[in-house]
Amino acid sequence: MEVDSVVIRAVVYTADGPQVVESIQEARERPGTAWIRIEHATDDAVRQLETVFGIHGLSTDDTMANVRATVHEFDEYTFILMKAARLASGETSFAEEVTEGPVGLFFGTDWVVSLSPGRVDSIDEMWETALHPKQNLLDRGADFVVYRIIDGLVDDYFEILDQIEVQIERIEDAVITTLDTSVLADINNVRRELLSIRKLLIPGREAASSLARGDSPNVRPESEKYFRDVYENLIQLVELTETYRELATGARDIYLNALSMSTNEVMKRLTAVATILLPLTVITGLYGMNFRGSPYNMPELTWVYGYPAVLLAMALVAFTSGVYFSRQGWL
C-alpha cells in the first residue's frame, strides 16, 4: 500500500446511473446509494467523515490503528474492519513477506464508506466497476457493495497462497538435491509468510461469519448468501494455510534429516581414515624408540632391509584396512 496525500472520492447511483460528486456532504445528501472512498486518510478527513455520517470515533480509530479484523454494530450503521494483503519485498531484506493494511468499511441502508491509510488495488478495481454505467454495482445495495469489496480482498489472499504454494514446490525439489543453507532460509521465510497470513484469516473468518449469519440489520436477507460465500472461502483459505504449514514443516524435517545423514557420512569417513592411520602411528612410534647399546633393542634396527620392510608392512596394513572399510561402505 502506498503512502500519499489524502484522496477522497464519492459516487452516487441515481436513476441516471452512477454520478461522481465533489464532496462527502453532497454524497450524503443526494438520493441514491452512495459510496465514499477515502485513502491516505488524514485526521481532518476522518473527522469530517465522522461528522457527516455520524460514525463513532472508536470505529475510525480502530481502522487507523490497524487492529485485528472485527465487526461492530451501531445504531445507524455496521462497521467491519478487514485487512488488505500482498506479498512484497521486506523493508530490511529482499525476501518476500506478507504486508498488510487495514480497510474499514462502514455501511448503512443506502451508503458505504471505505477508509484506508493507503491505496488498495482490489478497491481500485471495484471502484472502476462502480463507475461503469452498465455494471449497476451500487444499484444492488450498500451491503452488496461491501460484499464485493471484501470478496476482492479475499481473492488477494488466494493469490498470496498461490505464490506461497509455488515457493513450497520449489523448496521440496531443492531439499532432495542440495543441502545449501539458503534452502533452510527459504523454508523459514515461507513459514513466516504462512503465519502472517493465518493471523489475517482467522479474525477475518470470524467477522465474515457474523455477517453471514444475518446478525447485522444492515445486511438484507437476500445478501446473506454472498457473505456466506465469503465465509466459506475464508474457511478454505485457513485449511490451505494449515496444509501448506504442514508441507513446509515436512520440508524442513527432510532437510534437517538429510543434513544429519550427510554429517554422519562425513564422520564415518573421518573415523575410517583415523582407524587406518592408527596402526601406522603405533608402528612409527614403536620404531622411533631406537635406543642404542642395549641387548634388548629391536634387531630390525641393524637389519639392512629393516626400513623398507617396515614401510611395506605399513602399506599393507593401510591397504588392508582401506579395502575392508570400502567393502563396508564407509569410504
Task: Please write the tens of the pLDDT for every residue from 119-128.
Answer: 888 899 999 9
pLDDT of residue 314: 77
State the alpha helices, DSSP H only, in the chain.
24-29, 43-53, 57-65, 121-131, 142-175, 181-212, 224-287, 306-327
Separation between Cα atoms, residue 96 and residue 121, nearest integer Å: 18
Q: If pLDDT is split at 50, 70 and 90, which confidence band does 172 have?
A: confident
Separation between Cα atoms, residue 196 and residue 160, nearest integer Å: 11
Element (H, E) at 113: strand 111-116
- Domains of the chain listed by start with CATH number: 7-259 (3.30.460.20), 260-327 (1.20.58)
Separation between Cα atoms, residue 11 and residue 139, nearest integer Å: 12
Q: Which distant-in-sequence residues (6+ apart) come within 8 Å of 18 by Cβ? A: 11, 12, 130, 131, 132, 133, 137, 138
Size of the chain, expressed as the number of residues it contains: 331
User: Mean pLDDT for the chain?
Assistant: 85
Which three cell numbers mark 50? 465522522
* 3 state DSSP class of 331: coil
The DSSP-derived string for 30-73 is: SSSEEEEEEES--HHHHHHHHHHHT--HHHHHHHHHT---EEEE
User: What average pLDDT does the segment 11-20 reach?
Assistant: 86
Q: If pLDDT is split at 50, 70 and 90, which confidence band does 201 have?
A: very high
Q: Which of 46-50, 167-171, 311-315 has the lowest mean pLDDT?
A: 311-315
